[in-house]
Amino acid sequence: MLLPQLVVLSALLTLVSSLPWSNLLERQEASSSALNDIPTINLVYNCTVAGHFALTFDDGPYLWEKTVGDAFTAGNQLTTFFLNGNNYGCIYDSADVVKELYDANHTMASHGWGHLNMGLLDADAINSELERLEVAFTRILGVVPRFFRPPFGSYSTLLLEILAQRGYTHVYLWDTDSQDADGATASVQTQLFDANCATYPLSHLALQHSPVEQTITTVLPYALAELRKTRYTVSTVEDCLGLRKEDAYRVVGTPGTRDATWTCA
């Protein structure tokens, strides 16, 4: 007597299993599993080690990187350069200085090839911006950077995913903007350092730009002197997170020899 009902029920189950949403849960579980496979990357807005102050310099290399390096060396201190490939100048034209700073233990990190707004780019353009600078780092230093700072502080989920897939571990933003790229006077910048120094031992991660002459000739000497007075430890971006120098790079070989390929053309 129940056989016709069982036949109807079986037919209904067959119909349901053919509907588009019938395997929704399976797709959600598969999607969740895939998300777990995506490499993670750390967004950094500030240092985490108390009493550390990381001064960082974007947009080079240009004219004053060696001056910056010498200022830190004089105080037995280190800094971080977020370099472009072809912004104010071509990185290959400054290869000797970049290598000298690297050998002096300053940290060399990526700021993209041409200082584009990478938060607005598609995957092909993002990969091109990253790869061209990675090639330059490989030729000049024999390493690929693991640290990145997005131009304009602009980033997207796509950019973060691609960075992680390419082996980057940290994206550095900042808690203190010197505003030098926006035309802030030396006086405004030194007042900002005064305010920050008054917060010791709170840590800070400061954004500056090495192609801005007054930043290098006026503000930097003042900042280093004031930080010394307040007992801040002036550090690289990895030190101020408690990381090691080797965490900043993926070693891929030895530096190359300059040839006709070392060009931004």
Which residues does the annotation mark as catalytic? 58, 209
Structure tokens at 7: 């036949």
CA distance 59 to 262: 19
DSSP label at 39?
P
Helix (H, G, I), strand (E, B) or coil at 58: strand
Beta bridge partner(s), residue 242: none
Residue type at 55 in one-letter notation: L
CA distance 166 to 103: 24
Structure tokens at 169: 């571990």
Residue type at 227 in one-letter notation: L
User: CB within 8 A of 82, min separation 6: which ones?
Assistant: 56, 57, 58, 59, 109, 110, 111, 147, 148, 149, 172
Q: Which helix (H) or strand (E) is 205 found in, with range?
A: strand 204-209
